[in-house]
Structure 1
Amino acid sequence: MERAEIDRLRAQDGFPDAFKDRVRVVGTAEGAELMDISAGRFTRLARLGLFVPAKVYVNRYGAVVWLYLTEELQHFAAVPENTRLLKGRTPETLRGQLAEGVDLRARNWRMRQLGSLLRQAEDPWARAGALAALLPPVEVADVVEDPYERAWMNRLRPALSGRTLAGTSFAHVAERIATAQDADEIEWLRSDLAHSVEEARALSPAPRPTVRRTGPPARRTAGPIPPLARTVTAPVEPMPAPAPAEPSDTSGESTALTAGPAPVEPLVRSVEPRRISGGRAPERRHVPRRQPVPAPVPRFPGAGHEPSRSTRRLRTWLRRGAPRPAEV
Structure 2
Amino acid sequence: MTGHTITQEAADAAARTSVTQSRAARELGLKRGEFELAVMLGRIRTVSDTAGGRRRVTREEIERVRAGEGFPEAWVERIRAVGTTEGAALMDISTARFTRLTRAGFVTPVKFYLNRYRAVVWLYLAEELRQFAEAEVNSGLLTGRAPGTIRAQLEAGVDLRARNWRGRHAGALLRQSDDPWERAAAVASLLDPVQIAEIIKDPYERAYVRRLMPDPFGGQGAPDTPAGRIIQKITTADDPDEIRWLRANLTIGLSQARGERPAPRPESKPAPVPAPDQESASGPRSRAELDAEPSPDLGPDHEAPPTALPEQETRGRAQEPRGLLKWMRRRGA
Note whether the superposition's TM-score is higher than 0.5. yes
SS in structure 2 of the partner of residue 68 of structure 1: strand
Runs of 4+ in 1 over 3 A off after TM superposition: 214-224
Measured in 1, the distance between the counterparts of 2:80 and 2:201 equals 43
Which residue does the alignment assign to 2:231?
174
Show CA shifts across 1:165-195 (max 9, x none): 3265422111100111111111111111111
How many Å separate the matches in 1 of 2:141 and 2:117?
32
Match of 1:95 among 148, 151, 156: 151
The two structures have a TM-score, normalised by structure 1, of 0.65
Counterpart residue number, 1:159? 215
- If asked which structure has higher relative contact order (CA below 8 Å, sep 6+), I would say 2
- The answer as to whether partners of 2:220 and 2:227 remain within 8 angstroms in 1 is no
Identity, % of aligned positions: 53
Distance of 1:91 and 1:143 partners within structure 2: 41
Distance 1:162 1:214, change over 3 A: same
Report what 2:166 is aligned to: 110
1:32 is the counterpart of 2:88: yes
Q: Which residue of the partner structure matches residue 259 of structure 2?
A: 202
Structure 1 gaps, min length 5: 225-328
Structure 2 counterpart of 1:63, which letter? A
The offset of 1:9, in angstroms, is 2.1
Who is 1:193 aligned against?
250
Write the letter of the residue equivalent to 2:213: R
Tell me if the contact between 1:162 and 1:175 (Cα under 8 Å) persists in the aligned partners: no
Q: Scaled by the length of structure 2, what TM-score is found?
A: 0.64
C-alpha distance 23-222 of structure 1, shift in aligned 2 (>3 A):
closer
Show the counterpart of 2:18: none
2:309 corresponds to which residue?
A: none
Provide closer, same or farther for how the CA distance between residues 214 and 85 of structure 1 changes in structure 2, counting only shifts above 3 A.
same
Gaps of 5+ in 2: 1-45, 47-56, 284-333
1:304 maps to none
Q: Which secondary structure does the structure 1 equivalent of 2:113 belong to?
A: strand
| Correspondence list, 1:277-288, <5 A | none
CA-to-aligned-CA distance 1:222-276 (integer Å, 9 cap, x gap): 999xxxxxxxxxxxxxxxxxxxxxxxxxxxxxxxxxxxxxxxxxxxxxxxxxxxx
Give the 5 Å matches for 1:1-328: 1=46, 2-3=57-58, 4-162=60-218, 164-166=220-222, 168-214=225-271, 220-221=279-280
- Give the greater-gyration-radius structure (CA): 1
Measure, in 2, the Cα distance between the counterparts of 1:199 and 1:222: 55
Figure out how many residues of one structure are paired with residues of the other and give that number: 224
Higher helix proportion, which one? Answer: 2
Contact 1:133 1:159 (C-alpha < 8 Å) held by counterparts:
no
